[in-house]
Amino acid sequence: MSQSGAHSSALPTGYDAARGASADGDDLEVADPADVDPGDAPPEGSDIEVRADPVSDAPVGYAVFETAIGPCGIAWGPGGITGVQLPEDTADEVRETLVVAQPGAVEAQPPDAVRATVERIRALLAGDSRDDLADVELDMSGLTPFLRRTYAITRTITPGHTLTYGQIAERLGSPGLARAVGRAMGANPFPIIVPCHRVLGADGSIGGFSAHGGALTKRRMLLAEGVPESEGPALFGTEQLYPGGADSV
């Protein structure tokens, strides 16, 4: 694990929130579809706000760590994990991106719970585990209700399996919200733990991905988890990964 910043004794050393609950104790289990209000979703064509309100004023720590797909990052606070950074080209780029996403965060030695999560993420990305990370505590206290519900459903997708944006919308009880689900995946502050890489287009296409390497990185993550290449050309064909053809890379 790469650590270059000063350590702060003011940083939290553990979590206050229980699994599946926000810092204020709200239950985050998947709601009955009848309880999901489509009005929570942003209007078509609008931007998704990741958080409705700041998580808290408590200090946030972050760490950068190496994985099989490149340097990643993780941030934490008193209520659990506050963010995960997908791989960038360099560790310094991960730091820069994390600090923008987590204002005021300080690089520090992670507490035991975070360190254990890092090791589980490493094993998953290396293809050495089928850990669904479902018990990792996330601080969703500032998320909108629509995002909380969408991410709760996404966390039920286990390694080696996928869902489409439309299928998640159906589980929300609102099949017409597929595009809003797609935007929610793009705004996901907890990638890997909230496995947006396991969410595909309606035709099984791999779609875009915000990590360094884009769709190729998403493909590597899915293969490491056991999604078979026999899923078909829509998912693993070069026409999806390299629009100009494999020779254009």
Instruction: Report helix, strand or coil for 245.
Output: coil
pLDDT by position in tens, the chain (length 249): 433 333 333 344 343 332 233 333 333 233 333 344 444 555 554 444 444 444 455 668 999 999 999 999 999 999 999 999 999 999 999 999 999 999 999 999 999 999 999 999 999 999 999 999 999 999 998 899 999 999 999 999 999 999 999 999 999 999 999 999 999 999 999 999 999 999 999 988 888 787 888 889 999 999 999 998 654 444 544 333 333 332 322
Question: What does pTM read for this prediction?
Answer: 0.74
Q: Are strands 72-77 and 80-85 parallel, antiparallel or unpaired?
A: antiparallel
Q: Where are the alpha helices (DSSP H) in the chain?
A: 91-101, 112-125, 145-154, 165-171, 178-186, 215-224, 233-236, 238-241
What is the distance between the alpha carbons of residues 86 and 90, in angstroms, rounded to a whole number? 11
Helices 112-125 and 215-224, packing angle to 10 deg? 90
What is the distance between the alpha carbons of residues 35 and 232, in angstroms, rounded to a whole number? 36
As annotated, the active-site residues are 196
What is the distance between the alpha carbons of residues 193 and 215, in angstroms, rounded to a whole number? 18
Set out the domains of the chain in order of their start, with CATH numbers: 1-20+53-142 (3.30.160.70), 144-244 (1.10.10.10)
What is the distance between the alpha carbons of residues 142 and 226, in angstroms, rounded to a whole number? 33
